Structure 1
Amino acid sequence: MSKKLSRSAIAIAVALAAPSAWSAGFQVSEHSASGLGRAYAGEAAIADNASVIGRNPAQMTMFEESQVSGALHVVNPEIDITNTTSGQKASDVAPMQLVPASYYVSPINDKWSWGMGLYTVYGVATDYPDAFETGDLAGDTSLVSVNLNPSVAYRVSEQLSIGGGINIVYAMAELNRHVGVLTDSFNIDDRGAKLISMEGDTWGYGWNVGALYELDKDNRFGFAYRSKVELEFEGDFTDHQGSVTGTKGNVVTGDLSVPLPAVAEFSGFHQLRDDLAIHYSVMWSQWSSFTELKATGSQCASDGVQGVCFEKKEDYQSVFRWSLGTTYDISNDWTVRAGFAFDEKAGKSTLSIPDSDRYWYSAGATYKYSPSLTFDAGITYIASKSGTFTETSRAGEREFSAKGAAYIGALQANYSF
């Protein structure tokens, strides 16, 4: 396959793993429809289908036969941003996304299991009107990623299992900024004219490990850790107005570093009676590692700083996500579930990443079509805490207000053989 066709195939795969970023920062939680229906409570310990690879690979030892799972999420955010300084409003700045995921788990013997997952863990997309006044801060921003996660698990004893995997991440980033109210500075009339653009792609690598402890057949605990992944983008930086390189329309090579934070999760699962279980999770994300968005290039000189194409400081801190859920078997064929989660705000809100505290309200169900085939469905409403923030553009400091919500629906099929 030619390099061009190969890159196009990867780009299609990444587009299908489009970002939702409706968790803290630009983290993507949408790994399974069953998990969505319980607000992802108990994910490191519940082990109900092959999507366990996405959270804790040690759970693969609980499978007695091979299973393949495929899920598709539809994420519809509704985020409105208002420039309170001028009254200008941008509606639905985060576009609707499709987020697929697929998994395969297979036991090797009574001790070993292996599996493969293809899903996304980080992404963000915001798209403002081209003529937005503070176009040098807003514009459109996109980071999409796809994670290939081969994993193995080993049963140490009847109670303890361990697992680990490698994360192979392919990511694409694109950023466009516009002139906005700076038309006089560039002697043009079009507020929607592009100011700067950058696009690039890269590969990143990391690892994940997990442990599962089965206290007895009705009670178990899981712990999982996913390492930080450094994405080092190299791509084309375009200076449309000559404000950074001194030459209008100049295209130069630019480098951009984006860290994907480390994540740790602890979960519990308790079967209270034959038809009723509760489960919970606490997840920690090391967002303190995300300190800036900075693109560099030898021909750039942003704000007089040689070698800098653009730079934006980010104010992020490590945060927790708390979730609680329950599962109830109505009959041999039908299972229903519900969950609630509180997702802490990771960073100071900005136009490109309007982060906030979020409250998840989830429900879902599983239908057992046959002993080998099951179907999952989940829905979630996410309420986002409204707030205000300030940003300083080339035209001066501006104040903004943000409010939003999101609606997520997912379907999944699981086949055992």
Structure 2
Amino acid sequence: MQHKYLPLIIAAALSAMSVGAQASGYRFGSQSVSAQGTADANAAEANDASTIFYNPAGLSRLDGLQISGSATVVVPHSTFNDSGSTRFTGTPTGGTGANDYVPGSVTAPAFYLSKKLNDKWTVGMGMFVPYGTKINYGSEWTGRYALSDVKLESITLNPSASFKLDERHAFGFGIDAEFMKASLGQAVDVPGTIAALRGTPQSAALAKQIALLGGNPQLLATAKDGHGSNDGKDWGWGFNLGYMFTLDKDTRFGLSYRSSISHKLRGSTVWDFSKVTADPVVNGVLAKSSNKVNSAALVALRTPETLSANVFHQFDAKWAGMADVTFVRHNRLGDLDIQFPGTTEGAEVIRQQWKNTVRVSLGGNYAYNENLTLRAGIAYDESPVKNAELTHPALPDSDRMQYSIGANWKLDARSSIDLAYSFLDFKDASMNYTNKCNPVMTTCTGNGETTRGTYQTHLSLIGIAYNYKF
């Protein structure tokens, strides 16, 4: 039996950060509620301990011991309109469309702590979610042979420190310990393979084998999809740097850099043919003839580094303005090679070929009174996906606009609450992704299918944080 349905696309999980995220590519874009209120334009403001993520040099501006804890809820709305998805045979995949395939909402926590040691040194610790998504298209949608579901969870621990050289120059640095955990599912095109073999000697041999084992070969005509699933996890290490220049009491400029992190996600791949037909004999023969075996799985990748330049200016007692430009080296994550150690399967390739991107944001603060500060911001964020042919269902990404409002409310001299709301409007994303054949092998990656359609996405982010100064 020719196995056109081939190993599961496990590494696609690692690039799945579209409707479950705020930033382009696969980065979860809200690590601070105060920053979210200005569309992440306030890196040079350095007004609370979350500056650890945006620019660790900003720690030098914080006094005493400070903590900040937050939660951001992502509320997505997304639809997929199919425009002719096909099996590897060129025939329609059948199935249904996909609406609201991000189930419910996703909540991401963050926590920051800073401690001023003396006039020169300030240290801190950050804990935040750098990447994360949850997509479930279901087992019946038209693109199920490319992807049925994906879940990516991650967390970063970021101990940091800043050194204040003088009243104008401050430097910061930190270590990133990053944990990733991913799981992914994909339908296996058993019906398409059986149809492609119908009338061939191989098909007759398959039916004969089933009959000899006491099964019912007629059930091949009613066969349903199989399923593959996998998981993987890994710790990776990186660093971040920051510099802040204070021109005067009202104006600051910042530069920050966050390094690439290498990961080798190790886990397992599991194949399930138990529900293909009602006859376990038929299912067993199909599973064996597919040459699929449960095995280990391995994929290596590098997250992109970022470089940001930002500015903050206090115009008067009421108004402040700020801006940020962030360059993201997305081409670190090129095509993904998936390995299946211990098997005869060759490496599978997920084509991505991402481009580098730029994010631009503008924001402002308005001090309504001594206890209430209002915030607002706007941002434009490019997608790293080049075209429809390189758009995969795990990452139906596109350029987007972000519109944010927020507020800081002082409860007393030591504590305050931050609130933020953001609306992200994505451009329609066209997809025409084919799992092409590997020229070195006689087989095709994935199921050899082509998934065609258009994604329409927008989402809301709602954030709340509590800050306390000891």
Q: Does TM, scored on the shorter chain, surpass 0.5?
A: yes
Are 1:240 and 2:248 matched, yes or no? no
Q: Hey, what's the Cα distance between the residues in 2 that align with 1:243 and 1:282?
A: 54
Partners of 1:290 and 1:246 in 2: CA distance? 34
- Which residue of 2 is the match for residue 261 of structure 1? 304
The 3-state SS of whatever aligns with 1:250 is: coil
Residue 334 of structure 1 is aligned with which of 344, 347, 372? Answer: 372
How many residues get paired?
A: 391
Q: Is the 8 A contact 1:124 1:353 kept in 2?
A: no
1:347 aligns with 2:346: no
Q: What's the CA shift for 1:42? A: 2.4
Shift of 1:92: 1.4
- Cα distance in 2, alignment partners of residues 244 and 261 from structure 1: 39
Could you say which residue in structure 1 is the equivalent of 2:408? 366
Please list the CA deviations of residues 50-104 of structure 1 after superposition, one character each: whole Å capped at 9, or x if unmatched.
1111111110000121100000000012121122116942011233200110000
Tell me the residue number matched to 1:30: 30
Distance in 2, matches of 1:130 and 1:268, equals: 48
Q: In the aligned structure 1, how far is the partner of 2:292 from the partner of 2:29?
A: 39
Residues 152-163 of structure 1 mapped to structure 2, 5 A cutoff: 152-163=161-172
Q: 1:101-144: CA deviations, max 9, x gaps? A: 00000000000000000001123332211122332212112221
Q: Which residue, 425, 431, 444 being the options, matches 1:383?
A: 425
Q: Deviations over 1:219-277 (max 9, x none)?
A: 00111100000110111112335999966773211111232110111110000001100
Kindly indicate whether the alpha-carbon contact (under 8 Å) linking 1:358 and 1:384 is maintained by their aligned counterparts in 2.
yes
Q: Which amino acid aligns with 1:157?
A: D
Q: Which has the higher contact order (CA 8 A, sep 6+)?
A: 2
1:65 aligns with 2:104: no
CA 1:54–1:380 in 2, change beyond 3 Å: closer, same or farther? same
Asked if residue 276 in structure 1 is aligned to residue 287 in structure 2, the reply is no
- CA gap 1:359/1:117 in 2 versus in 1, 3 angstroms: same
Deviation for aligned residue 1:184 = 4.0
Aligned CA distance change for structure 1 residues 410 and 243 (closer, same or farther; 3 Å):
farther
Change (3 A) 1:243 1:387: farther
In structure 2, the residue corresponding to 1:405 is in which secondary structure? strand
Give the whole-Å Cα distance in 2 for the aligned partners of 1:245 and 1:32: 51
1:20 is aligned to 20
Q: Which runs of 5+ in 2 are unaligned?
A: 1-18, 86-93, 195-219, 274-284, 436-446
Distance 1:350 1:184 in 2: 21
1:265–1:133 CA distance, 2 compared to 1 (3 A) = same
Q: Does 1:92 align with 2:92?
A: no
Structure 1 residue 189: deviation in Å?
4.5
- Asked if the contact 1:20/1:125 (under 8 Å) is kept, the reply is yes
Tell me what 2:143 maps to: 134
User: Is 2:397–2:429's contact at 8 Å kept on the other side of the alignment?
Assistant: no
Q: Give the Å deviation of 1:193.
A: 3.6
More strand by share: 1
Aligned to 1:287: 330
Q: In the aligned structure 1, how far is the partner of 2:404 from the partner of 2:30?
A: 12
Q: What are the within-5 Å matches in structure 2 for residues 159-174 of structure 1?
A: 159-174=168-183
Shift of 1:188: 7.6
Query: Is the 8 Å Cα contact of residues 20 and 99 (structure 1) preserved in structure 2?
Result: no
Structure 1 CA distance for aligned equivalents of residues 255 and 286 of structure 2:
50
Cα distance in 2 between the residues matched to 1:362 and 1:153: 29
Partner SS for 1:273? coil
Say whether the 8 Å CA contact 2:329–2:356 is kept in structure 1.
yes
Q: Cα 1:243–1:136, aligned 2, differ >3 Å: closer, same or farther? A: farther
Letter in 1 for 2:67: V
Distance 1:168 1:190 in 2: 46
* CA distance, structure 2, for counterparts of residue 288 and residue 209 of structure 1: 21
Moved more, 243-252 or 398-407: 243-252
d(CA) in 1 for partners of 2:374 and 2:323? 16
Match of 2:40 in 1: 40
Q: Distance in 2 between matches of 1:412 and 1:398?
A: 41
Q: Secondary structure at the match of 2:191?
A: helix
Give the match for residue 101 of structure 1.
110
- Indicate conservation of the 8 Å contact 2:176/2:240, yes or no: yes
- 1:411 corresponds to 2:464: yes
Name 1:183's counterpart in structure 2: 191
Equivalence for 1:201: 233
Post-superposition offset of 1:176: 0.9
Cα distance change of structure 1 residues 250 and 48 upon mapping to structure 2, 3 Å threshold: same
Alignment check: 8 A CA contact 2:47 2:61 kept:
no
Pair 210,243 (structure 1): closer, same or farther in 2 beyond 3 Å? farther
- Structure 1 residues 272 and 330: CA distance shift in structure 2, 3 A: same
SS in 1 for 2:294: strand
Which structure has the larger Rg? 2
C-alpha spacing 1:190/1:221, structure 2 compared with 1 (3 Å): farther
Letter in 2 for 1:401: T
Quote the sequence identity (%). 28
Q: Distance in 2 between matches of 1:25 and 1:351?
A: 13
2:346 to 298, 302, 307: 307
Question: How big is the shift at 1:313?
Answer: 1.0
Displacement of 1:307 in angstroms is: 3.1
Q: 1:8 aligns to what?
A: none
Cα distance in 2 for partners of 1:264, 1:191 equals: 49
1:400 alignment counterpart:
453
What's the TM-score once normalised by structure 1's chain length? 0.89
**Structure 2 counterpart of 1:11:** none
- Tell me: CA distance 1:190–1:160, structure 2 relative to 1, closer, same or farther (3 Å): farther
> 2:47, 2:62 within 8 Å by CA — same for their partners in 1?
no
The answer to whether the Cα contact below 8 Å between 1:131 and 1:178 also exists between their aligned partners in 2 is: no
Instruction: State the distance in 2 between where 1:358 and 1:100 align.
Output: 23
Distance 1:171 1:298 in 2: 20
> Which residue type is aligned with residue 92 of structure 1?
D
Structure 1 counterpart of 2:385, one-letter code? G
Residue 244 of structure 2 is aligned with which of 193, 204, 212?
A: 212
* Residues 339 and 244 of structure 1, relative CA distance in 2, 3 Å threshold: farther
Letter in 2 for 1:123: G
TM-score by length of 2: 0.79
